[in-house]
């Protein structure tokens, strides 16, 4: 009796987990379109201070452009080498 009820509980929980994962998979199949004009605010720490921070608000498109510019600057600084003619 105890084994059959334990087996029934396990079976019911497995079916509920399978149903939940199926529902999540179907929701994940829909492409989530995000509004590029939505304003997102982030807190950024002020350089030179451990306690102070400032709030920066930009649209999603502006945040994406800022990330791309930051990435370009990092790649440029990593690939630029010192050349003797240029005078480091």
pLDDT given for residue 25 in this prediction: 56
Across 1-88, where does the E strand assignment appear?
39-45, 53-59
Backbone angle region of 73, left / alpha / beta, with phi > 0 → left and psi within -120 to 50 → alpha: alpha
Q: How far apart are CA 66 and CA 64, in angstroms?
A: 5
- The pair of structure tokens assigned to 24 is 């999540």
pLDDT given for residue 32 in this prediction: 80
Question: Average pLDDT, stretch 76-80?
Answer: 87
Check: pTM over 0.75? Answer yes or no: no
pLDDT given for residue 80 in this prediction: 80
Question: Average pLDDT, stretch 61-85?
Answer: 88
Task: Report the percentage of the chain scoring pLDDT > 70.
Answer: 57
Task: Report the percentage of the chain scoring pLDDT > 90.
Answer: 44
């Amino acid at each position: 009796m105890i084994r059959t009820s334990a087996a029934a509980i396990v079976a019911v929980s497995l079916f509920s987990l399978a149903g939940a994962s199926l529902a999540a998979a179907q929701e994940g199949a829909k492409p989530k379109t995000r509004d590029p004009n939505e304003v997102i605010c982030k807190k950024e720490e002020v350089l030179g201070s451990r306690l102070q921070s400032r709030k920066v608000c930009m649209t999603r498109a502006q945040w994406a452009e800022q990330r791309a510019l930051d990435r370009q600057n990092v790649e440029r600084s990593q690939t630029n080498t010192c050349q003797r003619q240029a005078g480091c």
